[in-house]
Amino acid sequence: MFPSGFYRDENDELNVQGIKISDLTNRYGTPLFIYDTGLMKERYEEFLDTVKNVNGNIHYAVKANDSLNVIKFFGKLGSGADIVSIGEFEKCVAAGISPNKMIFSGVGKNKDEIEIALRNNILQFNIESEEELNDIYNIASKLKLTANICLRVNPDIAPDTHKKISTGEKETKFGIDIDDVARLYKRLYELDYINPVGLGVHIGSQIFDFSFFEKAYLDLKNIADDLKKNGYQVPTLDLGGGIGINYNSNKKPNFITYKKIISDIFLKSDYQLSFEPGRSLIAEAGVLITKVIRNKKNKGKNFVIVDAAMNNLIRPTLYDAYHKIELVKDKIGEEIVVDIVGPICETGDFIALNRKLIEVKSDDLLTIRTAGAYASVMKSNYNSRVDAVEILIHDGKSYKIKQTDTIQNTILKEKMVDFNF
């Protein structure tokens, strides 16, 4: 058996499931995303253990990484899916996830998407407004199909996380004002072809202070309990995702504390709970390998220019996010302070700023850790750069799961206009 995750051999070279990373780059090139199913399975089983005593179902948040094989792997382990577009719906179907195990979330479901989801018997819609409810009702009535509806509550809670991934405050576009939830839930009972199935909440991502979860979950349960006291059925509570993971260490997500919080609140209740983990299942299981192109000095500033860029990993540019970076083959040398930057013509194209790194040379390989979530899924082709290859390591073998496009193929996708001057 191989250790799960990425580890160093006796020669201080990074390996995964018995395979040298350098052998993988020789075969597949760089930049290269690598996913380890051993660590994916480990994190999934840890999360399953966290929620099983409170009658919890897992719906993997596809937005974190929408690779077909990642979706399929979690599906094989028993997960459903949390989706936010029909594109994600189609990917889940292709990966073997049944629509009756999919939760359709998001504020911008258009009418075509709603119809497709209804015709395919989706498990439930997590709706974000009364206007969205009206659209679903009109479409369901026309089709004579029943829509299972869960109201997403905005509890006006601001967790301690990056502003761009905080979703529980009243100023955000997400959820229904907590003061309107009871009225709107009661209205669900007045509508044909609408089946009320519960309430949900999701206050953001990368949350380490779990008191914010506790407050949101207690608020949600109190609303549901009051509705039940007044004769309304609330079978399901969707608790979303958001558990923080450590980008600068190998410390595991804090599932132990999370388990205690949800057990204290829900262990004696009869609610069916849904959870939507994404980052906490896949982030640590992925790395991005990049090759050093050259070094550059500019008035005392040291730059390491690599072949990965913001089009492969935009989190540092978008969120000032930190990723641990290390040499694939460790070596002894002097540490210097460098900016690790990509080839794109933007000052904002960087992987790390003011980072201590042993002095490197052209063709050295660097590992960007914790790149399994919100990395390749947010890619672009800016500067006409092609995608990175993505591979999956399973049972000691490597599989190319996403082929990089070629510039020639991207050109063929465009139609030339015959300009007559």
Distance, in Å, from the CA atom of 221 to the CA atom of 262, rounded to the nearest integer, reads 11
Q: Which two tokens stand for residue 382?
A: 């800016």
At position 127, the amino acid (one-letter code) is: I
Closest CA to 206 of 234, 176, 179, 241: 241
Distance, in Å, from the CA atom of 189 to the CA atom of 198, rounded to the nearest integer, reads 12
| 3-class secondary-structure state, position 174 | coil
Instruction: Assess whether 345 carries a catalytic annotation.
Output: yes
Closest CA to 186 of 177, 196, 178, 176: 196
Gyration radius of the chain's alpha carbons: 23
Distance, in Å, from the CA atom of 149 to the CA atom of 133, rounded to the nearest integer, reads 8
Beta bridge partners of 32: 289, 389
For 254-284, give one letter per residue: b (16+ CB within 10 A) or e.
Answer: bbeebbeebeebbeeeebbbbbbbbbbbbbb
Catalytic annotation, pick one of 1, 332, 345, 417 = 345
Task: List residues with catalytic annotation.
Answer: 345
